[in-house]
Amino acid sequence: MRIAIFTIGTQGDVRPFAAFGRHLQALGHAVTIATSDRHRALIDQVGLRLAPIESDYAALMARERALIDGGNQLRIAGSVAATMMAWAPQWARQGMEAARGADLVLGSGSGTILGAAIAEKIGVPFVQAQFMPLTPSRHLAPIWPLPGLRLPGTANLALSHALRIAMWRLMARPSNALREALGLRAFPLLGPWYEREQRVRPQPVLYAFSRHLQPQPADWSPGRAAVVGFWSLDQGDDWTPPPALRDFLDAGPPPLYVGFGSMLSGDQQRFTRLVLDAVRRTGRRAIVATGWGALEAAQAPPNVLFLRDAPHDWLFPRVSLAVHHGGAGTTAAATRAGLPQVVVPFLADQFYWAWRLERSGVNPVLLDRRTMTAQDLADAIFLAEREGVRAAAERLGSLLRAETGMENATHALERWGVLPAVQTGRARQLA
């Protein structure tokens, strides 16, 4: 089959699809990843075809540092929607080119809007793939703004539907502009889920996270949703560390890892000083990953190494603890490595994963980045180093390492009838 995957966002949004796309291609399918050209090196590295989609989220986030620092999720979503409005005409043209000849379309995040519209236009099945639980359930509070809220089942359902409608209203204009550019009819006021005449095929959802962190709720239909496990792009065996990193690791005990991925900070210098002060207070060695710009490479004390980035599957088994932003990809890598974690969320699902890790016993305290002090961060690191937290992290890591997320996802696609059945080893045993 020819499969088009629409994934729009940061490196952390794209890497799981590079992994899953490579897995599907190894099964004999032809896979195209539709994403920003910024990710071409990654897609080329795994041997997949990239179809460029105008979507420079790095530039968008750089423009909106103040919004991200302020933490107002609705304003951030509104800014994304305004940018998508400008992208809509190009997305229609680029999306059709990306899906030319496709038999199946997958989409995630902002790519859900584009992928679903393209699949409807060309008349092929569409499947969502998401990294946070979005399907309403009696057993789950909405992931935002208070994921840990304990509510009656009816309240959970009502709030989940209300949040779905609120997010639709923010995205309605760019979504319908895209549909108009494709010659499709606009969706009504409350969005595609609530129209009387169901003009769009049902969209089953692959949830690419671990059931050991978030079990599948009992009221999610197996025919519409499947929690399959994380998708990890393991590159450590093919990566050669720079000499400075190798020397630093060899010079002492396993260091802390501190990194915030693709996140940006409105005041890099202040945030970097806070992190370095916290590391100093712990007396530990640390590798500080600067990523896209939450931190800057300042003058490093002898116990700190600044690093642009490194494959998590290579680095994390060599560190003692991970301080990170709570993105799904970093959460997966740190948890698989059996690491205690300190999560400092910036936006979106990061607050949800911080809470899930806290519930699992591997993230000892929920931190608020806007009010966090160096002592708060140092104290959280001390708590995460306790034996009970480390033991919980090792237990959870062993469970995640035994999962076969990509095989499970393939089997779900087969079960839903959108992918030809192929013998996929362990996934068959999970049927």
Residue 308 pLDDT = 84
Q: What is the pTM of this model?
A: 0.90
d(CA 333, CA 261): 12
d(CA 213, CA 229): 10
Kindly state whether residues 151 and 287 are assigned to the same domain: no
Range of the domain at 208: 2-230+404-429
Kindly state whether residues 143 and 96 are assigned to the same domain: yes
108-143: b or e for each residue (b if 16 or more CB lie within 10 Å)?
bbbbbbbbbbbbbbbebbbbbbbbbbbbbbeebbbb
Q: Which of 343, 378, 373 is nearest to 260 (CA)?
A: 343
d(CA 305, CA 174): 43
| Total structural domains within the chain | 2
Kindly tell me the burial class for residue 201, based on how many C-beta atoms sit within 10 Å of its own C-beta (0-12, 13-18, 19 or more).
Answer: middle
Kindly state whether residues 289 and 374 are assigned to the same domain: yes
Q: Which helix (H) or strand (E) holds 226?
A: strand 225-227
Kindly state whether residues 201 and 240 are assigned to the same domain: no
d(CA 81, CA 172): 8
Residue 430 pLDDT = 40
130 in Cβ contact with 208 (< 8 Å): yes
Kindly state whether residues 65 and 49 are assigned to the same domain: yes
Which CATH number goes with the domain that contains 112?
A: 3.40.50.2000
Kindly state whether residues 368 and 280 are assigned to the same domain: yes
Kindly state whether residues 397 and 409 are assigned to the same domain: no
Kindly state whether residues 196 and 282 are assigned to the same domain: no
d(CA 53, CA 34): 6
Kindly state whether residues 219 and 90 are assigned to the same domain: yes
Kindly state whether residues 199 and 149 are assigned to the same domain: yes
Kindly state whether residues 213 and 352 are assigned to the same domain: no
Residue 146 pLDDT = 72
The residue whose two tokens read 């932003």 is: 325
CB atoms within 10 A of CB 413: 26
The residue whose two tokens read 């979503």 is: 77
pLDDT tens digits, 147-156: 778 889 999 9
Phi-psi category of residue 322: left, alpha or beta, with phi > 0 → left and psi -120 to 50 → alpha: beta
Kindly state whether residues 73 and 201 are assigned to the same domain: yes
Which residues of the chain fall short of a pLDDT of 70? 56-77, 195-201, 236, 262-267, 291-298, 422-431
One DSSP character per residue, 87-130 reads HHHHHHHHHHHHTTT-SEEEEEETHHHHHHHHHHHHT--EEEEE
